[in-house]
Amino acid sequence: MKIKPLADRVVIKMVEAEETTKSGIILTGAAKEKPQVAEVIEVGPGGIVDGKEVVMTVKQGDKVITSKYSGTEIKCGGTEYIIVRQNDILAIVE
């Protein structure tokens, strides 16, 4: 099954959080911060959203930083994805 977002929506997959610190300390699940860096999986077509023209600036494969608790979490084929609006994406990581 393939997920195709509509309008200004973007499907992202979160990048795994580091499990050890630079000094080699292993972090427990509670000590890890929620990751904010994600990979763009699919991008909607953009268009007119709430009366305004939206041009999609992210593309498939981009690494992005998102708002901490934004989007809707879904599971497809055993993989967890998040669907966010493009305006919930704060930056592209180069």
Rounded to two decimals, the pTM is 0.80
Question: How many domains does the chain divide into?
Answer: 1
Summarised one tens digit per residue, pLDDT across range 27-80 is 655 555 566 899 999 999 999 988 999 999 999 999 999 988 889 999 999 999
Is residue 2 situated within a structural domain? Answer: no
Q: What is the CATH number of the domain that holds 63?
A: 2.30.33.40
Q: Which domain holds residue 73?
A: 9-93
* Euclidean distance between CA atoms 41 and 22, whole angstroms: 29
* Euclidean distance between CA atoms 35 and 72, whole angstroms: 15
Higher-pLDDT residue of 26, 29: 26
* Euclidean distance between CA atoms 57 and 87, whole angstroms: 10
